[in-house]
Structures are given as structure tokens and as C-alpha cells.
Chain A
Amino acid sequence: MRQLLLLLRKELLELVRTKRAMVLLIVFGIFGILNPALAKLTPWMLSLMGESLAEQGITFGAITVDALTSWTQYFKNLMMEYILILAMFSSIFAQEYQSGTLVNLLTKGVSRGKVALSKLLAVQLTWTVCYWLTFLVTLGYTAYFWENALPAGIWLAAVCAYMMGVWLLSLELAFASALNSGMYALLLTGGVFALFFALGMLPQLTRFLPSHLGDGLGLLTGDMASSDILPALWVSLALSATQSALCVVGIRKKQL
């Protein structure tokens, strides 16, 4: 346990000292502000463009903006959050493999599994903090501007979107622990996501696919029932556990 805590501390210290933690917190904080801000500014922007659009024959009725508009924006921006966090951690194993920094630690008798586990924990912990930071900032501003800041279904939708990040990160780390290149790990993760996304074309499969966990907006609007998304949540949990185990296998097989 002491070894795992020491390794986890090292990972977190790396995030802080290399300024990556700061960058992530700032960007995810900005995401949080952006969601309600965009919703708030939408009527103003449309009125700016209104005249020129009217000349082309496009006219608007009265635009109502409410808490739901802000949450719509939140779910639209999720993809950027996933890409950012995946890009940030794609080289977490490769940089150690390439520079040989793990050799000193492993020759102290540390098991490779603990090294993998410390990285998995550090990455998921970072994602948890970043994701819920964006959520809370969005929630705060939404509550400030509009009533009913927490529409029915928001918690389940938010947890599902969070789990999609957990699933994607554990998938990326499973690739990363077996490869010497962060870029390949990122591309393969993108490839698997695209594959799941393509499978989603079959309507009977959609509710089981973790790639659709970010589509929870329907829960807020009433277009979707919780039974439409819960199976995918369980699948994402099972896959995340399996992929984390594969990440440990990957580092064990790695020749250093």
C-alpha cells in the first residue's frame, strides 16, 4: 500500500509541477463558464445577425433561453472535454518507456502492476476533478441566471457522461501501457470509439453502447427514459474494469 501511495503521489506531483494540472483546471473551468455564457448570449448574437438574415428572408420568432439551453450547450461541449483529457494523458506510459525512468523504480522491487495502477488512479482522479468542476461551474452560473437549474434527469445524464470519460481513459491507458507511442494509443482509442459509434447505427444496440453515454440530454427533455441509457452505463463499468486489468497486463508484458 505504501508503494502505491508513493507512486500515486509521484504522478500527482508530476501533474502539478509540469503545470498540466493548472492548464486542465483553467480549461475545464472555462468550459464550465462557456456553457451558460453561450446560452445567455444566444439572443443577443441572433439579434446582431438578425438584420442581415432578415434580408435573406430568414426571420426569428421570440427566442426563449432557459436553464435547459445552458445544459444543451453543456452536452454539446462534452466531446471537446474527452479529446482534451485523452490527449493530455496519451503519453503517460510512453514517456516513461522511452526515457527509461521506470527502470530505477522497478529495480527497487516495485511490481509493475502497482505502477500501472498508480497511473490509472491518477488519470481517473484528474478526470473526476476536471469533469465535476465543469459541471459545478455550469450549474452555478445556470442557477444564477435562470430558475430550475437542475431539471429532472440531469444527475443521471451527468453521471453517464462522466462514465463515458472513465471508459475512454481506461481504454486509452490499456493501449498506452502496451505501446511505445502516445500518438498510437490516442489513435487506437479514437478508432475503437468510431467503431462503437458505427455500431450505434443499429437502433437495437444503441442503448448498450458506452459511446452514446454523452447523449443524455434526452433525459432532460423527456425524449429518453432512463432505461434507454442505463444498460450502456453498466457496460461502461464492466469495460472500464476489464480495460484497467488489460492495462496491468500490458505493462507486465512490456520488455524494458
Chain B
Amino acid sequence: MDVLEITNLNKRFGERTVLQDLSLRVPEGAIYGFIGENGAGKTTTMKIILGLLAADGGEIRICGEKVGYGQTRTNRFVGYLPDVPEFYGYLTPREYLALCGGLAGVSSDTLRKRADELLELVGLSASANRRISGFSRGMKQRLGIAQALIHRPKLLICDEPTSALDPAGRKDIIDILRAIKSETTVLFSTHILPDIERVCDRIGLLHGGRLALSGRLEEVRAMHAKSGFVVEFAEESEAVTFLSAYPGGEQDTPSKLLYPTGTRADMIAAMTKLGGMQLCPLKIEQREPSLESLFMEASAE
């Protein structure tokens, strides 16, 4: 079953078309990476899903129910983490979760237990009774996830949750998303591609107001798979020496050789050659399309 179905969604801001017949499906249990350059319309799409912004055309269904602007009953299925979540600084995380849970209709009996569970999950148990005003950005982001999950939503929407964080903070968020995978479906927008590779199983690339690329991550990769292999050395001189002994490649960078048509057998031969020449490369690897190259390719079209 699809938790989220977007069909032919259109949105214009004045003269500028932001979304053009965007269609997208997120199946239950997926962690869906919603990729696109800045200004591609990711946040706009998410705001329309949440009923915070009116669409000019098209339809959105969450768990089969149609989303309308303003009055947002479908939000009971959804947890939302904004890119920079803002809180009432005078409340403590426990009080804030009690407020959010109560508003989302969680019964008072289960609310306290659920809040404790989530504070544990996001690593804020020790700060549960401190005022939020003293929190760092990373802590706020983690509290943002907790508030989004308080009512056990079917769909968690995260708008660039890692963009404003340092590497440690990013890792925390990714780990939390992994941990909740069994509980909820996730739509995760970002332009940080390594984060997508670490956690998502499906991707959709938004470009020019529509999906330029979508599907399971490995399928998308396989569709754009490239042959060949790469050998990278520490020194340029080593690269030049090896290229003359084992031709058929080209210098991708001064110290990196690319054999674009090399097969598996060619790569084994190259490794034997390296051993014979007593050369130790920094790395030798089969070429795999990186998300970055797919991103650049699709964005260039």
C-alpha cells in the first residue's frame, strides 16, 4: 500500500512554476530520499502535503485520504520535522511533548510513557526537565524528531533534517531515522547525498518541477551503471609509469587512472600487473555510479 500518493501536482508562485505535474508514490515502510537542488520545490511539496500551502492543481492522498489546504485532518497520519524546528523556549522537552501529544489526540495515560520512550530514543532523557531555550541546534533537531513521532504517525516527513548540523549531529539524526524504520514510513528531503546513501532505500530526484529520476536506490544505480574501473595512486609519477605499462586507460586526474571499458578480467589483470611492478595504489575499484553523478546528470538535463 502507498502511504503517500501525489498525482499531477502543480504549484506556481506568480510567474514562476515550481511544481509541474509532479507525481510520486511512497510505499509503506520505505525511507524515501527526496532529492533536489536548492529551490527545486522540495519544501513547497512538503508544505502542500501538510496542508500549509494551497496547490494550484493535482491531488495528494495520505493513507488513502485526500489532503485539503488549511483544515488538515490528514495530519493525524503525519509527523513533520521542519528544517529548523522552533520551540517555545520556556517549556521543557517533556512539557513540549505533552503539549504536542495532547494536541495530536494521544491519551493522557499513554502520553507520559511515549514521551519518555522518545526522549530516550533521541538521547534527551538527561535534559528532559531543562528549558528548551538553552538547547543547541542538534538537540533541537532531535527534539524535533521526538515531537514529530509523538502520535506514532504513519508517515514522517523530514525537511532537510541534517543540513544545518555538524557531522556528529548528522550521524545522530541518521541513526535515529534508521532506528524508527520499522515503525513508520519516512519521506526525507535533502541535498546532502551521502546521507541519502546511508539511510534511504528509495529515491526521487526533483528537477524542473517534476521527478527526473525515481525508484529503488539499487535499481536506479543499476540503470545508470557504468563499466570500467579506476586506479588511484599517491603520486602522479606512479600513475604515469603504470599507464605506460598497462595501456588502455586515461588520466582522470594527475594521479588517478580511468579504464572506461575495462572488464572484470581486465581489472584482475591490472591487479596482477600492479603486484608484478611492486606498485601499491591508494585504491582500485569498479566504477559505480555515485548518487552525486546521477544528481549532476539529471540536473544537467
Contact = CB atoms under 8 A, between A and B. Distances in A.
A108 B73 CA distance: 9
Given A14-B88, A18-B90, A100-B82, A105 B76 contact: no
Given A6-B102, A6-B103, A112-B70, A107 B86 contact: no
Given A103-B82, A109-B72, A109-B105, A6 B99 contact: yes
Contacts of B259: none
A14 B90 contact: yes
B75 interface: yes
A108 B77 CA distance: 9
B104 A109 contact: yes
Contacts of B99: 6, 10, 105
Determine chain B's interface SS by DSSP, over half rule: loop
Contacts of B243: none
B16 to A, nearest CB: 16
Nearest to B78: A107
Query: In the complex, which range does the number of interface residues on chain A fall in?
Result: 20 to 34
Instruction: Indicate the member of A101, A105, A107 with the most B CB atoms within 10 Å.
Output: A107
Instruction: Indicate the member of B53, B102, B147 with the most A CB atoms within 10 Å.
Output: B102
Interface string A1-16: 0110011001001100
Contact of A13 (B72, B90, B103): B90
B180 interface: no
B52 A107 contact: yes
B88 A2 contact: no
B233 interface: no
Interface string A220-256: 0000000000000000000000000000000010011
Contacts, number: 71
A100 B84 contact: yes
B82 A104 contact: yes
B261 to A, nearest CB: 52
A111 B103 contact: no
Contacts of B79: 107
Query: In the complex, which range does the number of interface residues on chain B fall in?
Result: 20 to 34
Interface in A1-54: 2-3, 6-7, 10, 13-14, 17-18
A104 B85 contact: yes
B236 to A, nearest CB: 51
Contact of A109 (B53, B73, B85, B95): B73
A255 to B, nearest CB: 7
Interface in B62-115: 70-73, 75-76, 78-80, 82, 84-88, 90-91, 95, 99-100, 102-105
A104 B87 contact: yes
A187 interface: no
A10 B90 CA distance: 10
A99 B84 CA distance: 10
* A-B pairs, 7 with minimum CB distance: A17-B90, A107-B80, A109-B75, A108-B104, A108-B103, A100-B86, A6-B102
29 contacts: A7-B103, A10-B88, A10-B99, A13-B91, A13-B95, A14-B90, A17-B90, A17-B91, A100-B84, A103-B80, A103-B82, A103-B85, A104-B80, A104-B85, A104-B144, A105-B100, A106-B52, A106-B75, A107-B52, A107-B75, A107-B79, A107-B80, A109-B73, A109-B75, A109-B105, A110-B103, A112-B70, A252-B70, A255-B52
Given A17-B91, A104-B147, A109-B103, 20 more contacts: A3-B103, A6-B102, A14-B88, A100-B84, A100-B86, A101-B86, A101-B88, A104-B80, A104-B85, A104-B86, A105-B100, A106-B75, A107-B50, A107-B72, A107-B78, A108-B100, A109-B72, A109-B105, A252-B70, A255-B53
Interface of A: 2-3, 6-7, 10, 13-14, 17-18, 99-101, 103-112, 252, 255-256
